[in-house]
Amino acid sequence: MCCPSATLAVWSSAWLTQRAASDDVLDALLYWTQRHRVLAADDGAAETFDLAAGQAAGPAVGSAEGVAPAQLLAALRRHGLTRAALLLPEAGDVRGLGGPGPFSRAALARGEAVVFDEVGIGLVPEQADDGSLTWTAHTAAGCGDSITSGISEVERELRDAVRSSADELDALDVARAHPGAHDSVRRRLAASPQPPWPDDMPAQALRVLQRADEVDTILAAATDDEPGGAHSASAARRRSEALRPLAAAVREARCAAVSEAVRLFAGYADRRR
């Protein structure tokens, strides 16, 4: 089902290029939780999004009341922005974060972020104990899209990663130890409905997102089942090594699908000019 940052990146880009209404963006965010707020981690982010001192959060920037996502959308429109990008960083893969700093640390801790490189701002979501979702805006100079390959290439790489990992796990005889694994994956997928996407979402992007969700569900089932039928420490290590590139391919596929959607939305906007 991907993540809140993917929802905000796609839907805000659709709205900025007039492919969706602001209410559509806000409704899409409700898939994750009924309550969202936007905070600023620093003065630069507060100024960019027109947050008064009492509406921002951070070591030197007022209280933590925040504002509704509608105000964020209005600020994005006022700045004339046209695109957002999804980042799914992890240790060893910090592409798009723009170098060390509070934003990079927050994004790495959460494993996701949305960046608006036209103004050098990144937002990191975090779920609170009360179920609300807080989007903290950071100044993020140098941030940007992490994708350099086309979506077709990334889709092919995901298929190859699945095949390679399956071959390695077969060699370890892991699957035979868990005959109910397929049923478990099907149940997980059925319990995780897809978030809504814009009507103009490209078919290939949707297909890649769906396939990435399926593979991620398999990874989640495998992780819950550690050591997964591996009969020795060395086999368990090889199993983990077999799954690691698959997780990286899932992250890459999701970012590429979002990037492709944003690119096409921008193309629609360019043709109207």
Query: What DSSP string describes 181-206?
Result: HHHHHHHHHHTSPPPP--TT--HHHH
Q: Is residue 260, in this structure, part of any structural domain at all?
A: no
Alpha-carbon span 224 to 116, nearest angstrom: 35
Per the structure block, which two tokens stand in for 193? 């409905």
Greater confidence (221 vs 77) lies with 77
Of 146, 173, 199, the one marking the end of a domain is 146
Note the pLDDT of residue 240.
74
15 and 49 share a domain? yes
Strand order in the sheet with 85-87: 36-40, 133-139, 121-127, 113-116, 85-87
Q: Is residue 102, in this structure, part of any structural domain at all?
A: yes
Alpha-carbon span 257 to 198, nearest angstrom: 13
Give tens-digit pLDDT for 11-20: 999 999 999 9
12, containing H or E segment? helix 4-16
Give tens-digit pLDDT for 114-164: 999 999 999 999 998 889 999 999 999 899 988 888 999 999 999 988 887
Give the position of tokens 């193309």.
267
Give tens-digit pLDDT for 229-262: 555 666 667 777 777 888 999 999 999 999 999 9
Q: Is residue 113, in this structure, part of any structural domain at all?
A: yes
Q: Confidence class of residue 58 from pLDDT cuts 50, 70 and 90?
A: very low
Q: Is residue 264, in this structure, part of any structural domain at all?
A: no
Give tens-digit pLDDT for 150-166: 999 999 999 988 887 76
Give tens-digit pLDDT for 193-229: 789 999 999 999 999 999 999 888 878 776 665 554 5
| Cβ atoms < 10 Å from Cβ of 11 | 27
Q: Confidence class of residue 33 from pLDDT cuts 50, 70 and 90?
A: very high
Q: What's the total number of domains in the chain?
A: 2
Note the pLDDT of residue 235.
61
58 and 39 share a domain? yes
The answer for 123, left when phi > 0, alpha when psi is -120 to 50, beta otherwise, is beta
Residue 273 has pLDDT above 90, yes or no: no
Note the pLDDT of residue 156.
94
Alpha-carbon span 121 to 2, nearest angstrom: 22
Give tens-digit pLDDT for 256-271: 999 999 999 988 766 6
55 and 140 share a domain? yes
SS3 content of the chain, % helix, strand, coil (to 5): 55, 10, 35
Task: Show the domain range for 105.
Answer: 4-146
Q: Is 40 helix (H, G, I), strand (E, B) or coil?
A: strand
Alpha-carbon span 25 to 21, nearest angstrom: 7
| Cβ atoms < 10 Å from Cβ of 57 | 22
106, containing H or E segment? helix 102-110
136 and 169 share a domain? no
104 and 122 share a domain? yes
181 and 119 share a domain? no
Residue 53 has pLDDT above 60, yes or no: no
Note the pLDDT of residue 146.
87
Residue 62 has pLDDT above 50, yes or no: no
Cis peptide upstream of residue 193 (ω within 30 degrees of 0): no
